[in-house]
Amino acid sequence: MTKSYEPLKDKIELIFWPYLRLALLFLAAYGLLDWALLTWMPSFEPPEELWKLGLPLVVSAGAVAFLLWPRLRLLAEGPGNFDARLFLAMIALAVMTCGANCLHGYLAATRSKMVELASPASVDPTQPLGRYYRFRTEHTNARYAAAAVRMNTSNKGSRLNFHLYISTPLLASPADTLQRVPVWLGLHYTDDVRTSASDSEKEAAYRAFLQRSEKLFRAEKFENPLGYYYRLGNTKERDAYVEAARRSALANTDTTKAVVVLQPGEETFALRGLDSAKWLMGWVGVGSGVFLALLLIPRLITMNVIEFRAGRSTQAWPDWLTPRPGYLLTPMLLLANAAVYLVMALATQSGIESFAASDLRAWGGNYGAAVGAGEWWRLLSSAFLHGGFMHLVNNLAILGLLGGFMEKPLGTLRFGLLYLVAAIGSSLVSVYWHPAIVSVGVSGAIFGLMGAAVVLAARRALPSGMRSVVLVLVAVLGGLNLLFGFIMPGVDNAAHVGGLVVGAAMGLVLSFGLIRQLPYYESRNPEIE
């Protein structure tokens, strides 16, 4: 039996301080790079979504996996293949990624000075642009405003969102309408409708939205109470305003970089960046406090600590991503889902918050019309797609926990069959109940694993030491997900319930063979009896 102990001093020395040093060093390095680019290359503007979250996420994930994980391996695991240390790794990843996002917001705000100009006509778009502008004289000419419409879906495809982006020229004076305008004021109006609504209902909602937006724009007073503007960076929102500006009679015919889109300041200029600083301190302070609190729970493995102090610790790659006998398919599924998300995010330059429904459909999302046209492969491919980063993280964390418990006692082949049938079965239920929604995610297969786990535990087809833990895990994770699914809009409850039922049926079928082999399995794995 593995000997373990839990002196707080060793946990802090071997794990907590190295975690804190790693997080602070990462944030310092990212902040230094960000500061250097803002200072010496102000015209360099990569896509904000990738720079603020994409790059920090990839780099911090590598740092956690290869620098922090060898120390987290000093802690004891739970029963079976369950790895409680995964939560500590996820907290470290969240602190570093979200902290970098807040740090970028703080540096971008505080490193940028106010550009004082006589009028918007003084802005030279061929020169490095400022972030904040204040004009001594300005005039907004709504007569030459132009608009662009964008649509997307949210809440896992259940809401169709209408976006109206209006670019209004900012001029030096009311009479200044003879020259091409480089500076535009951006206004945004939005509304939504159910994607399950009929085409006529969607059309009526869209027309009503345009009419309301037109009334609001005509009543717009173009007030700027704080007296300054901030310039939109390299974002999809700016792209929409540029598209609108190009339709105006005063549009500059130069490249998109010659279009400057401004919006009224939202915070007192002297206090700019303060909110980002508060969030940064919150992520580092509160996140590290939670990390330390959770570190008190698992015990240290004596032999691992001795080997680590002697410099004989060799495995850096996380156990939960390492295929091995009895745990072969789960890490492959985790890596496959993460790889698909990463490739799709790079290809579409989106996905940190959410992917567009059109992109999800193009990449293999479950969609009634497409499946009805013979594209049955979508029933499985949709299980490898996710609506955004948090959707991916939530599903993979639960899949890792359940897979860690269930793959070894079921066997990789049975586990794979259960996963496959649950994924396809939940997709069939989803496409039947919600044919107009683009459905993605591995949650249907996850609920299939939960349904099977409950049946297998109830029929005593799982090792005795694992049954109560599995039931508690399923009750907590499954209960919370079902509860949020019925409370929050946009959750595909049909896929969840469908996966649960299909998984329970598969669990019943598999239980007969598992009951017969259980004595042999427990004799080979006495640690989980």
Residue 131 lies in a domain: yes
State the pLDDT confidence band at 406, using cuts at 50, 70 and 90.
Answer: confident
Q: Which residues contact 175 (CB under 8 A, 6 or more apart)?
A: none
Query: Can you read off the two tokens belonging to residue 207?
Result: 């027309």
State the pLDDT confidence band at 244, using cuts at 50, 70 and 90.
Answer: very high
Domain edge (last residue) among 241, 269, 297: 269
Q: Which of 95-99, 317-321, 337-341 has the lowest mean pLDDT?
A: 317-321
Q: In total, how many domains does the chain have?
A: 2
β-pair type (229-231, 260-264): antiparallel
Q: What is the DSSP letter of 131?
A: S
Residue 87 lies in a domain: no
Nearest in space to 259 (alpha carbons), one of 246, 248, 269, 270: 246
Domain edge (last residue) among 240, 269, 298: 269
139/227 same-domain check: yes
Mean pLDDT of all residues in the chain? 84
Q: What is the DSSP letter of 224?
A: -
Kindly tell me if the per-residue pLDDT of 255 is higher than 60.
no
Q: Measuring CA to CA, how many Å separate 512 from each of 306, 456, 460?
A: 44, 9, 10
Give the number of other CB atoms < 10 A from CB of residue 404: 23
501/374 same-domain check: yes
> pLDDT per residue over 146-155, tens digit each?
999 998 776 6
Cβ proximity of 269 and 226 under 8 Å: yes
391/495 same-domain check: yes
> pLDDT per residue over 27-84, tens digit each?
999 999 989 888 887 777 877 877 887 788 888 988 998 889 889 988 887 554 456 6
> pLDDT per residue over 301-334, tens digit each?
888 888 888 876 655 556 666 777 878 899 999 9
pLDDT at 81: 47
Residue 503 lies in a domain: yes
pLDDT at 76: 83
229/333 same-domain check: no
pLDDT at 254: 59
β-pair type (300-301, 4-5): antiparallel
Kindly tell me if the per-residue pLDDT of 501 is higher than 70.
yes
Of 158, 426, 443, 511, the active-site residue reads: 443
Cβ proximity of 263 and 230 under 8 Å: yes
Q: Indicate whether this model's pTM tops 0.85.
A: no
Out of 169-178, 336-345, 391-400, 412-421, the most confident range is: 412-421
Tell me the residue type at 201.
Answer: E
200/127 same-domain check: yes
Residue 386 lies in a domain: yes
Give yes or no: 443 in active site.
yes
Apex 330 CA angle, 437 and 411, nearest 5 = 115
What's the rounded Cα separation, in Å, for the pair 528 and 168? Answer: 68
Q: What is the CATH classification number for the domain harbouring 475?
A: 1.20.1540.10
What's the rounded Cα separation, in Å, for the pair 489 and 392? Answer: 18
What value does the mean pLDDT take over residues 179-194? 88
Domain edge (last residue) among 269, 289, 305: 269
- For residue 494, what are the domain limits? 323-529
**Residue that wins the pLDDT comparison between 294 and 323:** 294
**Residue that wins the pLDDT comparison between 89 and 351:** 89
What's the rounded Cα separation, in Å, for the pair 431 and 75? Answer: 44
Residue 488 lies in a domain: yes
345/216 same-domain check: no
